[in-house]
Homo-oligomer: A and B are copies of this chain.
Amino acid sequence: MTSDVGSSAPTGTIRVAAAQINTAVGDIDGNARLIEKWIGLAEEQGADLVAFPELTITGYPPEDLVLYDNFIAANRAALGQVALLVGDIVALVGFVESEDGKLFNSAAVLHQRKIVATYRKIHLPNYGVFDERRYFTAGDECPVLSIRGIKIGVNVCEDIWEPVGPSEVQCAAGAQIIVNLNASPYESGKQGHRVEIVTGLSHRNRVYTLYVNQVGGQDELVFDGGSMLAGPSGELIGTAARFEESMLVADIDTGSLENLRLNHQAQAVPQDVLDGIAVASVVELDVPLPARRPRLPELSIHRLDRLEAVYRALIMGTADYLKKTGFGKVAIAVSGGIDSALVTAIAVDAIGAENVVGVALPSRYSSEGSVVDAEELCSRLGVELWRIPIEPGHGAFEEMLCEAFDGTEPGLSEENMQARIRGNLMMSIANKFGWLVMTTGNKSEMAIGYATLYGDMAGAYAVIKDVPKTLVYELCDHRNRRGPGSPIPRAIFDKPPSAELRSGQIDEDTLPPYDQLDRIIHMYIEERMSPDLVVQKEQALSEGGATEATVRRVVRLIDINEYKRRQSPPGVKITGLAFGKDRRLPIASGWQR
A residues apposed to B, CB below 8 Å? 24-28, 30, 59, 61-65, 67-71, 74, 126-127, 131, 133-134, 217-219, 320-321, 324-325, 386, 388-390, 392-393, 395-397, 399-401, 404-405, 408, 411-414, 416-417, 420-421, 423-425, 427-429, 431-432, 453-454, 458, 460, 528, 530-533, 563, 566-570, 583-593
Could you write out 11 A-B pairs with CB less than 8 Å apart? A25-B589, A30-B590, A127-B134, A134-B584, A219-B586, A324-B589, A325-B588, A392-B396, A401-B429, A417-B427, A420-B454
Known: A70-B530, A458-B454. A425 touches B401 (CB 8 A): yes
Please determine whether B64 and A585 come into contact, CB atoms closer than 8 angstroms. yes
Docked-complex contact B388 and A401, CB < 8 angstroms: yes
A468 to chain B, nearest CB (A): 20
Q: Which chain B residues border A26 with CB–CB below 8 Å?
A: 586, 589-592
Closest to A580 in B: B566
Docked pose: A445 CA to B563 CA in angstroms: 22
Contact partner, A393, options B28, B61, B393, B569, Cβ 8 Å: B393
Asked whether, in the complex, the Cβ of B131 is within 8 Å of the Cβ of A70, the reply is no
B458 touches A432 (CB 8 A): no
* Distance in angstroms between the alpha carbons of A441 and B25 in the assembled complex: 29
Give bound CA distance, A320 to B587, whole Å.
Answer: 12
A393 and B397 form a contact (CB under 8 A)? yes
Are B431 and A413 neighbours in the complex by a CB distance under 8 Å? yes
**Cβ of A30: which chain B residues have Cβ within 8 Å of it?**
590
Closest to A217 in B: B588
Tell whether, in the assembled complex, residue B405 and residue A70 are in contact, meaning their CB atoms are under 8 Å apart: no
- A567 contacts which of B388, B393, B569 (Cβ < 8 Å)? B569
Contacts of A399 in B (CB 8 A): 392
CA distance A68 to B389 in the complex (A): 46
Partner of A390, one of B62, B325, B400: B400
Number of copies of this chain that the complex holds: 2
The 8 Å CB contact of A590, one of B24, B428, B458, B583, is B24
CB pair B61–A586 under 8 Å, yes or no, is yes
For the A-B complex with A401-B429, A567-B569, A570-B587 known, give 19 more contacts whose Cβ atoms are closer than 8 Å. A25-B590, A26-B592, A27-B591, A64-B584, A65-B585, A68-B530, A70-B532, A71-B593, A126-B126, A126-B131, A131-B584, A219-B586, A320-B588, A392-B400, A401-B428, A420-B427, A460-B563, A563-B569, A566-B569
- Inside 8 A of A533's CB, which chain B residues have their CB? 70
**Which residues from chain B contact A68 at a C-beta distance below 8 Å?**
528, 530
Report the Cα distance A255→B591, complex, angstroms.
46
**Residues of the B chain whose Cβ atoms lie less than 8 Å from the Cβ of A566:** 569-570
Contacts A386-B404, A395-B396 given; does A586 touch B454 at CB 8 Å: no
Chain B's closest residue to A581 (CB) is B584
Q: Tell me whether B424 and A424 are in contact (CB under 8 A).
A: yes
Residue of B nearest to A399 (CB): B392
Partner among B62, B134, B432, B593 whose Cβ is within 8 Å of the Cβ of A413: B432
A424 B427 Cβ-Cβ under 8 A: no
CB pair B63–A584 under 8 Å, yes or no, is yes
CB neighbours of A131 from chain B (8 A): 126, 131, 134, 584
- B420:A588 contact, CB within 8 angstroms: no
Q: Given the known inter-chain contacts A64-B584, A65-B586, A432-B405, please indicate yes or no for A71 contacting B425, CB distance below 8 A.
A: no
CB neighbours of A395 from chain B (8 A): 396
Give chain B residues whose Cβ lies under 8 Å from the Cβ of A416. Answer: 427-428, 431
Residue of B nearest to A564 (CB): B460
Complex-state Cα separation, A278 to B539, whole angstroms: 49
A30 to B395 Cα, complex, angstroms:
47
A5 to B155, CA, bound (A): 70
Docked complex Cα distance between A430 and B353 (Å):
39
User: Given the complex of chains A and B, what is the CA–CA distance between A569 and B564 in angstroms?
Assistant: 9
Most B Cβ at <10 Å: residue of A566, A570, A589:
A589
The one of B217, B218, B528, B588 in contact with A67, judged by C-beta atoms closer than 8 angstroms, is B528
Residues of chain B lying within 8 A (CB to CB) of residue A528? 67-69
Q: Which residue of B lies closest to A73 (CB)?
A: B530
A428 and B454 form a contact (CB under 8 A): no
Residue contact B588 to A219, C-beta cutoff 8 Å: yes
Residue of B nearest to A429 (CB): B404
Q: A413 to chain B: which residues have CB within 8 Å?
A: 428-429, 431-432
